[in-house]
Amino acid sequence: MSTPPTAPHVTECFLLRNNPPQVLLGRKKRGLGAGKIVGIGGKIEAGETATQAALRELYEETGVRVDESWMQARGVVDFRFPNKPAWSMVAHIYVCEQWHNEPHETDEIAPVWCDLEAIPYAQMWADARYWLRGMLSREVNDGQIDAIFTFNDDNATIQSMEFRSI
């Protein structure tokens, strides 16, 4: 099954800090996934590169500013919702380990720092448990991801997953 030709391209960015090792996630306050813990990101707008969109979304959703050279592209995750094609999207994944400003809550996201050993998968989309920690810690494919997740008709559980060669 292929990605719908109209599936939007989006970004998802994860800020990482040490002592203890933590990742910045956010509780989504509105729109698709409201109430879930998610990565910071959103749609790539016309004329933007994926990196530019990730920088803009980080600022809009958390107030954090990042220099483009600090962004680490980690790959792509293709999310497919056969029962709800409008939810399908292709996410360009980024990690960043330095930034300006401290994250703050906006009308879109309530930022949440999570220990890498205690990521709240039960509050996230079902796919996260299969790839997020390995990507963040670089334990799998040196942190690179290229995957397809297809959701069941309930739009919540995973029907299939494919990890493609990088």
- Domain ranges, ordered by start, for the chain: 9-163
Nearest residue to 156 (alpha-carbon basis) of 133, 132, 137, 128: 128
Q: In whole angstroms, how far apart are CA 13 and each of 24, 82, 155?
A: 9, 25, 23
Average pLDDT over residues 99-104: 95
Residue 3 one-letter amino acid: T
Distance of CA 86 to the CA centre of its chain: 18
pLDDT digits (tens, 9 = 90+) for 54-95: 999 999 999 999 999 999 999 999 999 999 999 999 999 999
pLDDT digits (tens, 9 = 90+) for 21-53: 999 999 999 988 999 999 999 999 999 999 999
Q: State pTM to two decimals.
A: 0.93
Which CATH fold topology does 9-163 show? Nucleoside Triphosphate Pyrophosphohydrolase (3.90.79)
